[in-house]
Chain A
Amino acid sequence: MPDSISISNDGRHDAERWTGRVLRIGVWVSASFMVTGLLIGAMYPSTIVAFCSNPTLGNLMMRMISGSFDPVTLMFAGLVFLMFTPILRVITAIVGFGMERDWRFVFVSSVVLLLLVSEIVYSIFIKG
């Protein structure tokens, strides 16, 4: 493949490179949590405790901090980490655009981030 492939939109590609790294890490970390939860649950079914069927982000984090790594918590943690991966993707894009001094797209990406944060706040609010 020729070297000229390294050109990208406007010849700038910091945002693309960093965003790609974040995505790869996000997928692997969340898949690791999910697979570990499934394997522990399959090997030791007695460890599947009936955590609540409808946890909040807060009580999920509290269980992780307190070291309650039962299968259901691990699976939820993997799913929630996966849900946060696209948000990390947007944050990385903001940083990448900032490094490229493309302030217009720092603003555009910040609007997307603000919408996503509003959604999370709304979700926490409706959960009570």
Chain B
Amino acid sequence: MPIISSISLLFGGFVAGVFGALLGLGGGVLLIPFLVMVLGVPMHQAIATSIIAVIATSSAGATMNLERRTVHIRLGMLLEIATVTGAILGGITANYLSASVLAKLFSILLFLVALVMIWRVRQHTGQELIYTGGVLPGSFYDDANRKIVQYTVKNVPAALLVSLIAGNVSGLLGVGGGIFKVPAMHILSGIPMKAATATSNFMIGVTAAASAFIYFAHGHLNPFIATIAALGVLAGSMMGVRMNRRIHGHVLTWIFSLTLLGISIQLYLR
């Protein structure tokens, strides 16, 4: 691989990792368009690379969240039955679809992600929706409010259904799927936002692993591209987590959402 492309890839992975961490995404949403549109990487290879990057960022982020005890590991394991099933089916399906079909599906996904992000900014009121009459009790220490938040989980079947769809999208298009899972866990199951985000981040690594071996077996994992991108995304996500507290989230989300809309249209028309 030429040195210029390697540096571009490392830098692209780093930027995807920074924005992924700042906006609560896995990084794949930005990494795949960069690989395909800027570096000309084939779509299946780009998806396989993104899956590796998702595993890396999930593993690194989950370590920190487990130490903070914000991950609801029991809920995560339960929902993983659905996400892993969806991801395996998605991974198998993707290898029977052409690159152009996957690119079109990915552009539609980007469009939906942008709309969900805009909706989340407009809906944000700062109020937590906490439910205490359900199952699987959990608790964590909230640094911002300096108190222990106790909650339970409601509507588990609905969360399982959304997880199945999110897992399928992850296996098919190489993204974490947290953009759909986190709002669903928060709104449908009454899980506090911090716990929902941390639990989703913990889950996406296992979900990604569920399709990673399928892409590997089909020969879509390029060691140079995947290694350099994974290291770039890993470094970027660590930087993004540190920057997170100093940046105004709403303005960033608006800019990012509009950028995603632009990329999705360009990718669809390619």
A interface residues with partner B (beta carbon < 8 Å): 1-2, 4-10, 13, 15-17, 19-20, 23-24, 26-27, 30-31, 34-35, 37-38, 53-54, 56-57, 72, 75-76, 78-80, 82-87, 89-90, 93, 102, 105, 108-109, 111-112, 115-116, 118-120, 122-124, 126-127
Contacts and interface: CB of A to CB of B under 8 A. Distances in A.
Given A31-B234, A115-B81, A90 B206 contact: yes
A86 B88 contact: no
B221 interface: yes
Contact of A83 (B52, B138, B227): B52
A19 B66 CA distance: 8
Majority-rule SS of A interface residues: helix
Contacts of B91: 119
Interface string B47-65: 0000010011011101100
A126 B230 contact: no
Interface stretch (B123-131, B209-217, B245-253): B209-217
Contacts of B228: 38
Interface residues of B, number: 54
A38 B227 contact: yes
B88 to A, nearest CB: 5
Contacts of B136: 9
Contact of B55 (A76, A86, A119): A86
Given A9-B72, A105-B74, A120-B213, A20 B63 contact: yes
B141 A119 contact: no
Contacts of B254: none
Given A2-B141, A83-B213, 13 more contacts: A23-B63, A31-B234, A35-B231, A79-B227, A86-B208, A105-B74, A112-B81, A116-B84, A116-B210, A119-B211, A119-B214, A120-B213, A126-B214
Interface in B92-127: 92
A27 B148 contact: no
B233 to A, nearest CB: 12
B208 A20 contact: no
B214 A122 contact: yes
A54 B217 CA distance: 7
Nearest to A6: B69
A15 B85 contact: no
Contact of B60 (A1, A16, A27, A84): A27
Interface of B: 52, 55-56, 58-60, 62-63, 66-67, 69, 71-74, 77-78, 80-81, 84-85, 88, 91-92, 136-141, 148, 205-206, 208-214, 216-219, 221-224, 226-228, 230-231, 234
A74 to B, nearest CB: 9
15 contacts: A7-B69, A10-B74, A10-B137, A19-B62, A34-B231, A37-B223, A38-B228, A53-B219, A56-B217, A57-B216, A79-B227, A82-B230, A116-B84, A119-B91, A119-B214
Given A53-B219, A122-B214, A123-B216, A7 B230 contact: no
A9 B138 contact: yes
Interface centre among B52, B77, B205 (most CB of A within 10 A): B77
B230 A86 contact: no
Given A83-B212, A119-B88, A123-B216, A8 B69 contact: yes
